[in-house]
């Protein structure tokens, strides 16, 4: 805790008194008795589709995890894909998956999950008419054969080891896919009501194959102001806020009566991407100097209150494919200055060695982080100009290559084939194909391309070694400056028990949560 911050007086009684004015209309969630519901607050409005075939946004995705199950799930402690609606998945050949469905898996309307439902969902994603952003993942399917009500065979055009993770796509009934109608899944909760853009109410699925959830209702509300979210928790109008409060304010809640703050290891990966088309940043010595100039440990201690861990790359140390021997860039201003000297940017008495632009989003906490980074770089003679943009504008700029550097996060890089999306040469966006991939800094390495291609088709036992080589190459070349992996921080009402957050910050664990008696 920094000097001058008192946890007890951080939020004043006058602010608490203003709480009833935060929402002046009643919603379906208000009619539910408090002990029968849990109210979860999101930091953004609940816009857009909840169809698992069409969504790519992080916060709606947390709702989707509660409503839909796939053949597999990645909502596991180690983030390895595990069977979900599939009772068993066998691979008679590397490009073939034989799937047997669970006999007790049922949709929210009580109908059993059948092979035809799986086939219809996958075929709809493959159909260009739907416009699914997940189409590329499932275009690799050569054919889908239903072998009875509870069995089907998926045959790929060629082996693709990450496809088990792709099969976590939520399954819909064939009748919904073919004829439309309400969104129905087979997850632990069903959609009960939606009040755009502020509230979604989920009801317990009593026939859920893992067992009926303990909570009858989950109410998700959008509250875009951080202080208002905290007021709702303090006043009892909300029960859970996850990864939607700054570390400083979460720390201030630890001594509050009736509240608890839990932290769990997370995989969210913060980074600075360099535009390697820029002559200044094309020199790896400049990128290495910038890495040595930033005091990441200090930022984690003072800004994150310790709820983050330094990153050496995209994968955290707990990941099954993590490379512990990848090159590191500890805080070393003297080394940073020496590297800048060697790169031809000596110290100057009349100004900085070089000037650099960094684009960030408008989130106050992220802007503060960027200012501290700018201060660190100034100590080695680098003038960093920080510009903040709304997320949509920022993403448009980075996709078009309109940046020198930018700071963002990847929320769930748990499948290491994600290296294909962000670092393969084929994934550099172009003006004609702005969504071609996430390699926005135009990093190109024939060695990394070859390793990524090998990891895609390798047997499971060999994949870790391949991706460890990828990590070593990327750490040497430094197209990204890895910052940290942020923990999952949960602020909850003290009486809510048995909720464990997952490393990917999914809310799936709510199906086991309950109110203590």
Q: What is the pLDDT at residue 85?
A: 98
Phi, psi angle pair for 462, to nearest 5°: -105, -5
The mean pLDDT value of the chain amounts to 91
- Our CA dihedral for 403, 405, 411, 414, rounded to 10 degrees, sits at 110
Predicted confidence (pLDDT) per residue in 81-106, tens digit = 899 999 999 999 999 999 999 999 99
323 and 405: one domain? Answer: yes
Domain membership of residue 364 (yes or no) is yes
Percent residues over pLDDT 70 in the chain: 95
Q: What is the pLDDT at residue 338?
A: 98
198 and 325: one domain? Answer: no
Q: What is the pLDDT at residue 3?
A: 35
Q: Which stretch of DSSP H or E encloses residue 368? A: helix 364-378
Q: What is the pLDDT at residue 6?
A: 37
Percent residues over pLDDT 90 in the chain: 77
Q: What is the pLDDT at residue 47?
A: 84
250 and 278: one domain? Answer: no
Q: What is the pLDDT at residue 434?
A: 79
Q: Does the pLDDT of residue 23 top 80, yes or no?
A: no
Predicted confidence (pLDDT) per residue in 482-510, tens digit = 999 999 999 999 999 999 999 889 999 99
498 and 412: one domain? Answer: no
- Quote the CA–CA distance of 363 and 354 in Å, as a whole number: 27
Domain membership of residue 419 (yes or no) is yes
- Quote the CA–CA distance of 61 and 55 in Å, as a whole number: 7
- Quote the CA–CA distance of 187 and 174 in Å, as a whole number: 16
- Quote the CA–CA distance of 222 and 45 in Å, as a whole number: 5
**pLDDT confidence of 25, banded at 50, 70, 90?**
low
Domain membership of residue 334 (yes or no) is yes
CATH of the domain at 101: 3.90.76.10
465 and 321: one domain? Answer: yes
Q: Which residues pair with 42 in a beta bridge?
A: 222
Domain membership of residue 460 (yes or no) is yes
Q: Cβ(448)–Cβ(456) under 8 Å?
A: no
498 and 483: one domain? Answer: no
Task: Output the CA angle 202-205-208, nearest 5 degrees.
Answer: 140
Domain membership of residue 344 (yes or no) is yes
- Quote the CA–CA distance of 85 and 19 in Å, as a whole number: 42
Domain membership of residue 5 (yes or no) is no
Predicted confidence (pLDDT) per residue in 204-260, tens digit = 999 999 999 999 999 999 999 989 999 999 999 999 999 998 898 998 899 899 999
Task: Output the CA angle 63-68-73, nearest 5 degrees.
Answer: 100
Query: Number of helices (H) and strands (E), helices first, in the chain?
Result: 16, 19
**Structure-block tokens of residue 193:** 């009501």
Q: Average the pLDDT over 42-71 and give the result.
A: 92
Residue 493: how many other CB atoms lie within 10 Å: 19
222 and 329: one domain? Answer: no
Q: Which stretch of DSSP H or E encloses residue 332? A: none
Q: What is the pLDDT at residue 16?
A: 40
Give the residue from 135, 162, 179 where a domain finishes.
179
Give the residue from 116, 150, 179 where a domain finishes.
179
Biggest CA pair distance of the chain: 78
Phi, psi angle pair for 438, to nearest 5°: -105, 10
- Quote the CA–CA distance of 499 and 254 in Å, as a whole number: 17
Q: Average the pLDDT over 408-436 and give the result.
A: 88
Phi, psi angle pair for 97, to nearest 5°: -125, 120
Q: Which residues contact 393 (CB under 8 A, 6 or more apart)?
A: none
Domain membership of residue 54 (yes or no) is no
359: Cα separation from own chain's centroid: 20
Residue 174: how many other CB atoms lie within 10 Å: 18
DSSP H helices in 104-225:
115-126, 135-138, 163-166, 174-179
Which of the pair, 340 or 182, is modelled with greater confidence? 340
**Structure-block tokens of residue 513:** 């949560």
Q: 243 is in which domain, residue-wise?
A: 34-48+187-258+494-515
160: Cα separation from own chain's centroid: 23
**pLDDT confidence of 279, banded at 50, 70, 90?**
very high
- Quote the CA–CA distance of 220 and 199 in Å, as a whole number: 6
Q: Cβ(179)–Cβ(15) under 8 Å?
A: no
CATH of the domain at 402: 3.10.105.10
CATH of the domain at 501: 3.40.190.10
321 and 418: one domain? Answer: yes
Domain membership of residue 25 (yes or no) is no
Q: Does the pLDDT of residue 22 top 80, yes or no?
A: no
Sign of the CA dihedral running 107, 131, 314, 96? positive
Q: What is the pLDDT at residue 20?
A: 40
226 and 329: one domain? Answer: no
Q: Computed over its alpha carbons, how large is the radius of gyration of the chain?
A: 24
Query: Domains in the chain: how many in total?
Result: 3
286 and 388: one domain? Answer: yes
Q: Cβ(154)–Cβ(141) under 8 Å?
A: yes
398 and 445: one domain? Answer: yes
472 and 402: one domain? Answer: yes
Q: Which residues pair with 272 in a beta bridge?
A: 407, 481
Give the residue from 147, 179, 211 where a domain finishes.
179
């Amino acid at each position: 805790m920094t000097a001058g911050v008192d946890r007890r007086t951080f939020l004043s009684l006058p602010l608490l008194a203003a709480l009833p004015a935060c929402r002046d209309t009643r919603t379906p969630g208000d009619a539910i008795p408090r002990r029968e519901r849990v109210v979860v607050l999101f930091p953004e409005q609940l816009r857009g589709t909840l169809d698992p075939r069409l969504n790519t946004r992080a916060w709606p995705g947390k709702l989707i995890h509660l409503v839909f199950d796939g053949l597999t799930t990645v909502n596991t402690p180690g983030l390895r894909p595990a069977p979900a609606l599939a009772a068993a998945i066998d691979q008679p050949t590397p490009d073939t998956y034989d799937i047997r469905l669970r006999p007790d898996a049922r949709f929210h309307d009580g109908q059993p999950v059948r092979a035809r439902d799986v086939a219809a969902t996958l075929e709809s994603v493959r159909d260009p008419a739907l416009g699914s952003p997940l189409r590329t993942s499932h275009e690799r399917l050569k054919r889908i054969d239903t072998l009875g009500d509870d069995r089907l065979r998926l045959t790929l055009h060629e082996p693709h080891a990450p496809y088990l993770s792709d099969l976590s796509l939520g399954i819909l009934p064939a009748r919904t896919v073919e004829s439309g109608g309400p969104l129905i899944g087979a997850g632990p909760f069903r959609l009960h009501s939606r009040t755009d853009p502020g509230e979604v109410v989920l009801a317990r699925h009593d026939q859920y194959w893992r067992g009926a959830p303990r909570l009858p209702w989950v109410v998700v509300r959008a509250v875009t102001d951080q202080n208002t979210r905290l007021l709702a928790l303090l006043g009892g109008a909300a029960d859970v806020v996850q990864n939607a409060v700054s570390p400083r304010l979460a720390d201030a809640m630890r001594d509050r009566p009736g509240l608890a703050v839990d932290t769990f290891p997370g995989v969210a990966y913060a980074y600075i991407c360099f535009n390697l088309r820029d002559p200044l940043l094309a020199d790896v010595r400049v990128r290495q100097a910038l890495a040595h100039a930033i005091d990441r440990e200090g930022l984690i201690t003072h800004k994150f209150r310790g709820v983050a861990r330094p990153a050496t790359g995209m994968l955290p140390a707990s990941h099954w494919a993590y490379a512990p021997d990848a090159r590191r860039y500890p805080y070393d201003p003297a080394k940073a200055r020496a590297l800048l000297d060697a790169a031809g940017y000596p110290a100057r008495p009349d100004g900085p060695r070089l000037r650099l632009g960094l684009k960030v989003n408008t989130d106050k906490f992220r802007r503060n982080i960027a200012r501290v980074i700018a201060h660190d770089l100034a100590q080695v003679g680098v003038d960093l100009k920080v510009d903040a943009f709304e997320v949509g504008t920022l993403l448009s700029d980075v996709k078009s290559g309109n940046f020198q550097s930018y700071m963002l996060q990847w929320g769930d890089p748990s499948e290491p084939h994600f290296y294909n999306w962000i670092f393969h040469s084929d994934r550099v966006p172009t003006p004609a194909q702005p969504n071609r991939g996430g390699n926005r800094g135009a990093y190109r390495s024939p060695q990394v391309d070859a390793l990524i291609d090998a990891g895609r088709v390798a047997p499971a036992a060999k994949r870790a070694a391949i991706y460890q080589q990828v990590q070593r190459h990327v750490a040497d070349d430094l197209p990204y400056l890895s910052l940290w992996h942020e923990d999952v921080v949960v602020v909850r009402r003290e009486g809510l028990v048995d909720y464990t957050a997952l490393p990917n910050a999914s809310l799936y664990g709510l199906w086991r949560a309950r109110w203590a008696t």
